[in-house]
Amino acid sequence: MRGILNCAGYIPFKRLERASIQEFMGRTVASGARSVASHDEDTATMGVEAARLVLNSWNGEDPQTIWFSSSNPPYMEKTNANVLHAALQLPKSTRAYDFGGAAKSGVGALQTAVSSKETVLLIQADTRTGLPSGEDEILGGDAAAALLIGDHDDGPLLAQYLGGASATEEFIDRWRSPYEKNSQQWEERFTTSRYLLLVESAWEEALENVGLDPDQIQSVVVSGSNVRVTNRIIKTLGVEKVLGDLTDSVGNVGAADACLRLTRAIESSKPGERLALVVASDGIEILIFEIADSYTQNPITIDTQIATRSEVNYQQFLQWKGMLPVQPPNRPSPARISASAALRESDWKHGFIASQGEQSNLIHMPPARVSASEKDDIDTMQPIAMANTNGHIVTFTIDRLVYSESPPVVFAVVDFVGGGRMPMEVTDADVESIHIGMEVVPTFRKIFTADGIHNYFWKVRPTRS
């Protein structure tokens, strides 16, 4: 028995109402909203947030390997999974690899993981957009998903993998040159006909492989970048209950879309139900799961995050997506970080590991060799993880002059529960809503990018009720 041990999705705090695109552009667009990664978020930081939700509610052993999938990774050539590995403070023996490039890489990693013999942490994230008022911008979205895949010996399964099928054929559907930012899509009537031919044969093969009749599949999750294709697939399969749809609230999130929808479907399923994940992306992938009787839902669900978001206006959305250049602050641009210094301070920089006095229990942020308390001897400090520790704002200031991709910047002095105090940048909050005593939590973010190197560190954001 092998399957999903735990899973979670991460939905950014900001959303863009599609009506604001219609108002700005003067043309009719689809209803609903799409999720929007903030200016200090990318696929790596969103992936970290999704993985933290999985690991924080997991009591088993650390995964043996992590795989990161994205069609829009922060780095090419450099392994992005290493950044996530450092932020999650996984052991050095945990292997880290990228499954990148195509949107199909997400479901490809899932298929490979359920066929593996290792405990695998799948982390998938994407930021999707297109030219202003285009379908990709309107129907795209930004989000992440994380799934812990393993055997029943590793712990109780949320969903057991029963089997599936694949159908592969080379035809042009969606493509993007490595030198271009926006993708293109072929005429949908052609691609619809190809996908429908493939899904019929793959569906029959998948049911035969798992020994089930169509009426023994209670629900289906369908993912694909073409809405017309996914709607036709649903009708072709004839399964009445469709779960995991995020079209009206999040949008299609590329490489992370299939696993994000699957996660939402699992969160709304009942023990014993069987569900089929059908992915239309450069072919057809079908994976069939059965919800375990021991199913325990992650307390922070996708729907909970969708319900606690804040709106961003279209002009700011265009700025964050690089479609609307604006005058930067009259301050020097930041210089690239030092690779050697980043390595020396990796536990603090990536993992948010402070130090605590052995005798005084005084917490030092950043970590120090010498304690501020006379009770502690030199070099007797112990590391202490602060990434999952809540804090409260003691005082704050609003800086409109410091360099930022999205001014103004809010700096706050934060007192952490159990000890520890330091000044930190506040994100995911409107300036008017900041107040003394506000409860905040650490979040892994991108501070700036210089010379192609991303400077990652931790900020704080208000808790999402």
pLDDT tens-digit readout, 169-188: 999 899 998 888 888 888 88
Mark which of 256, 288, 320 sits at the end of a domain.
Answer: 320
pLDDT at 326: 82
Q: Are residues 348 and 306 in the same domain?
A: no
Q: Are residues 193 and 308 in the same domain?
A: yes
Q: Are residues 375 and 278 in the same domain?
A: no
For residue 393, give its domain range.
339-462
State yes or no: pLDDT of 198 exceeds 90: yes
For residues 19, 21, 24, 25, the Cα torsion angle rounded to the nearest 10 degrees is: -120
State yes or no: pLDDT of 418 exceeds 90: yes
Total number of domains constituting the chain: 2
pTM of the shown model:
0.95
Q: Are residues 359 and 307 in the same domain?
A: no
Beta bridge pairs of residue 220: 242, 276
Q: Are residues 274 and 357 in the same domain?
A: no
State yes or no: pLDDT of 162 exceeds 90: yes
pLDDT at 295: 62
pLDDT tens-digit readout, 269-288: 999 999 999 999 999 999 99
| Residue 58 forms part of a structural domain | yes
Mark which of 320, 349, 370 sits at the end of a domain.
Answer: 320
Mark which of 259, 287, 320 sits at the end of a domain.
Answer: 320
pLDDT tens-digit readout, 132-154: 999 999 999 999 999 999 999 99
Which CATH number characterizes residue 230's domain? 3.40.47.10
| Residue 228 forms part of a structural domain | yes
Closest CA to 397 of 386, 382, 385, 408: 408
pLDDT at 30: 87
Closest CA to 219 of 265, 267, 252: 265
| Residue 6 forms part of a structural domain | yes
